[in-house]
Structure 1
Amino acid sequence: MDLKTMAEAEYDKCMEDLVDSDQHYQSLPKIVSELVSTCHGGHCHDHISPVPLPSRQAMVKIIDLCREVLFPGYFGDAPIDQVNLEYYLGQRMTRLYRLISNQISHAVRHDCFRYEKHCLECERLGREAGLRFLKSLPGLRTTLAKDIMAAFEGDPASGSVDEIIFSYPGQYAMTVYRLAHILRKMAIPILPRMMTEYAHSHTGIDIHPGAEIGESFFIDHGTGVVIGESTNIGHRVRIYQGVTLGALSLPPGSGRSMRNLKRHPTIEDDVIIYSGATILGGETVIGARSVIGGNVWLTESVPADTKVFLKTPELVYKGGAEPRGPEEES
């Protein structure tokens, strides 16, 4: 077969592929119609409405702006000095107020339409709630400063407070949690959980915005930490990676009946919980100044000033010499 004949054959094959592809595209309208029909049966979830939902992109921008305001000079792309500090904060606060007010309005309006609630005057409520949120930020700066110092004093590996602010996932998760907790206490729907789940996706730390967490709280490392909705944590508490403060298993269908009940533990002041520990149940209280060892499983309360550890497991060595203890080496 000469080159011309080969080229013609390749051309014919290419045209056949194009025709075949076009035939597949012709199947799409039927699939679209089937999808549309599922939107009218009441069995699937959708949001076919002129009422806007809160925006994930806007929520992320709100978090970023809050961090620029709460830690001026650490985040953002503009250098700050004493001359432009007031202008810088004023500009950020104006943008933040516009964003948070709109997103609160969207969240409240969606909630009203979705659950047929009485009109809450969404735009007015958004403006008022947005202003209340901004008024809480000066006090929040003080609380976050205590969290940062708890991390600095509790972690010998921390080189500086700058390192903690810039890079510690626990500090990021706590900043977002404390912002979301403010909105949660204001009874703003949807937004608080969107914020903490965004932090969860970035840090591996899952803190429900409904949890109550005291001052000087430090999560070391952090990956795999879970703190449930009705958890109460006192002041100066330190926890490590993989800790779960959760609820006992619920029977099927009990989600509605158990909602708003105390299902997660209470951790009193100055408690330390080491990695992998699991503490479950709304009636479980860990008394002040107690230490919970790694991989401990608790579903009952612990008195104050108590240490709870697992027995040292029996280790089995196969192959090679068994390791010697310190007294044998000497």
Structure 2
Amino acid sequence: MTQPLNQTLGIAGIVSELREVRLTSLEHRHRRNNPPKLPSRKSLQSIVDGLSAALFPNRLGMPDLQEDGIDYFVGHTLDTALRDLYVQVQLELRYASDTEHSKAPSNTTALDKVRTFSQQLPHIRTVLDTDLNAAFEGDPAARSLDEVLVCYPGIAAIIHYRLAHELHKLGLPLIARIISEVAHSATGIDIHPGATIGNGFFIDHGTGVVIGETAIIGRHVRLYQAVTLGAKRFPTNAQGHLIKGDARHPIVEDDVVIYAGATILGRITIGAHSVIGGNVWLTKSVPPNSNITQAQTQDVANATPQPSNAT
């Protein structure tokens, strides 16, 4: 009689070796006893889906929702999503307390953060309306705001970002990052929740867009696919470790258009009403009303300002 497959493959031995590797790793991080649980990516995706449905019940809520039932649906959906978020916030706070060897957080701390976040939801919806309008007005292929909301990957990524950014500001960077990475996986658009982005933001097509943690983007900015707002270099401290949190990403002022494939690196400023052409590599600031093409990037410091309607 042949051996069972698990014996043939030696699964018991592999399990034992994996346990030893895992315990060694936990010991190295001083976490062998009762390592803290992390917030759940699956739960956070469900929470974002619920929050999105509450923000846009007619389009992202239940398909048979009637007008007289909208408020009930929004209330019930918010109650479920915020209760679940409260659990995830508790997990992050406990995880942070363990890793930083600080005092264990109280349940009141988690509740205060969820309450503060929930009070920002009307503001988030108002800002998202400006993003939807920017997409509709900026894309001649868009036939309605509804189409933009349910079809455009850039809008999906921005919804995730707007929610994640508020959580990031509340001192919940892990939950915020997980939410952003859910959108990144689904859309190919990578927006760090620490970035600051003004109203009326539009990402057309979107795949391959990267926006770094300390980027600052003004109002009515439009990006196309494969645009990178990244860091030019990564300074280290005396011990050779990367310095965290330094401002290292671009500042993009109001009413700027950045075309496909442009790479903008470092803490430089793109002046208001500028147009950055496709595939431009830019590491120096440009003044307002500039029109930068590939041919100009060798001397962008002396770029001549162009009229604000330059294309």
TM-score normalized by the length of structure 1: 0.83
- The equivalent of 1:328 in structure 2 is none
- How many Å apart are 1:119 and its aligned residue? 2.2
Report matched runs for 1:303-322 at 5 Å.
303-311=287-295
Quick one: which amino acid aligns to residue 149 of structure 1? N
- How many Å apart are 1:33 and its aligned residue? 1.9
- How many Å apart are 1:42 and its aligned residue? 3.5
Calculate percent identity across the aligned residue pairs. 43
- The equivalent of 1:215 in structure 2 is 199
- The equivalent of 1:206 in structure 2 is 190
- The equivalent of 1:73 in structure 2 is 58
Quick one: which amino acid aligns to residue 21 of structure 2? T
Q: Give the Cα separation in 2 of the matches to 1:47 and 1:238.
A: 48
- The equivalent of 1:94 in structure 2 is 79
Conserved? CA contact 2:47–2:82, under 8 Å: no
Q: Give the Cα separation in 2 of the matches to 1:144 and 1:58.
A: 23
Quick one: which amino acid aligns to residue 97 of structure 1? L
Q: Give the Cα separation in 2 of the matches to 1:198 and 1:204.
A: 10
RMSD of aligned residue pairs (Cα, Å): 2.1
Worse-matched range after superposition: 218-227 or 80-89 = 80-89
Conserved? CA contact 2:54–2:77, under 8 Å: yes
Q: What is the total number of aligned residue pairs between the two structures?
A: 293
Conserved? CA contact 1:263–1:281, under 8 Å: yes
Q: Give the Cα separation in 2 of the matches to 1:255 and 1:129.
A: 35
- How many Å apart are 1:299 and its aligned residue? 0.3
Quick one: which amino acid aligns to residue 212 of structure 2? G
Quick one: which amino acid aligns to residue 168 of structure 1? Y
1:36 and 1:305, CA in 2 relative to 1: closer, same or farther beyond 3 A?
A: same
- The equivalent of 1:194 in structure 2 is 178
Deviations 1:187-233 (A, max 9, x none): 11310000001100000000000000000010011010000000000
Q: Give the Cα separation in 1 of the matches to 2:240 and 2:187.
A: 27
1:36 aligns to 2:19 (yes or no): yes
Q: Give the Cα separation in 2 of the matches to 1:160 and 1:49.
A: 52
Conserved? CA contact 1:287–1:303, under 8 Å: yes
- How many Å apart are 1:252 and its aligned residue? 7.2
TM-score normalized by the length of structure 2: 0.88
1:311 and 1:51, CA in 2 relative to 1: closer, same or farther beyond 3 A?
A: closer
1:112 and 1:97, CA in 2 relative to 1: closer, same or farther beyond 3 A?
A: same
Match of 2:162 among 158, 173, 178: 178
- The equivalent of 1:9 in structure 2 is none
Q: Give the Cα separation in 1 of the matches to 2:35 and 2:235.
A: 38
Q: Secondary structure at the match of 1:301?
A: coil
- The equivalent of 1:315 in structure 2 is none
Q: Secondary structure at the match of 1:37?
A: helix
Deviations 1:130-182 (A, max 9, x none): 11111110111110000000000000000110100000000000000010000
1:234 aligns to 2:221 (yes or no): no
Conserved? CA contact 2:210–2:227, under 8 Å: yes
Conserved? CA contact 1:227–1:245, under 8 Å: yes
Conserved? CA contact 1:73–1:79, under 8 Å: no
Q: Give the Cα separation in 2 of the matches to 1:90 and 1:155.
A: 34
- The equivalent of 2:304 in structure 1 is none
1:138 aligns to 2:122 (yes or no): yes
Provide structure 2 residue ranges, at least 5 long, that are not aligned to the other structure: 297-311
Provide structure 1 residue ranges, at least 5 long, that are not aligned to the other structure: 1-14, 313-330
- The equivalent of 1:6 in structure 2 is none
